[in-house]
Amino acid sequence: MSISLVAGLGNPGRDYANTRHNLGWVVLEALAQKQGLSWQNKPSFEAEIARWDYAPGRTRWLVKPLTFMNESGRSLAAVARYYKLPAAEIAAIYDDINIDVGWIKVSEKGSAGGQTVSLVCWSTSGLNLRVSVSESAQSNRALWISKTSSLENSRQIKVF
């Protein structure tokens, strides 16, 4: 499988900037920084995108939808249509409260990990990468993921 589009999911706005729910953006920004990529705002896609020419004749698009997470499928579908990318070449990175801290779960055409993101993201994408945000069992999941993080965990993200 070849991945042509990598989406980091999160929520826009200052209120969500440092929350666990934006971990997909944090991971994608770390990758873009490591590769020396710059972000461009693309209103027609409702996203920020970065072009990564990772091999001769091979381009991978990094995409941060600027919609709320549950509407990110609309943004990703627009990018995929424009660049004529099949759904099997799309990978999504997002937070998952259901796995232990420090773990990453990678699955092909798996579940949304408790997310309510537009179905286009989960039912047809080629690869899902879920990053743990759980430090302990939380009774109010919405409050836990929208709570501002200490950023200590995000500083530990390293892209190899």
In sequence order, the β-bridge partners of residue 40 are: 49
Give the residue carrying structure tokens 């509407």. Answer: 71
65 three-class SS: strand
Catalytic residue among 20, 21, 64, 130: 21
Give the CA distances from residue 11 to residues 20, 39, 126, 139, in Å, rounded to whole numbers and listed in that order: 10, 17, 22, 22
Task: For 70-128, give the DSSP string.
Answer: GGHHHHHHHHHHHHT--GGGEEEEEEEEEEETT-EEEESS---TT----HHHHHS-SEE
DSSP 8-state class, residue 149: P
Separation between Cα atoms, residue 102 and residue 94, nearest integer Å: 14
66 catalytic, yes or no?
A: no
Residues annotated as catalytic are: 21
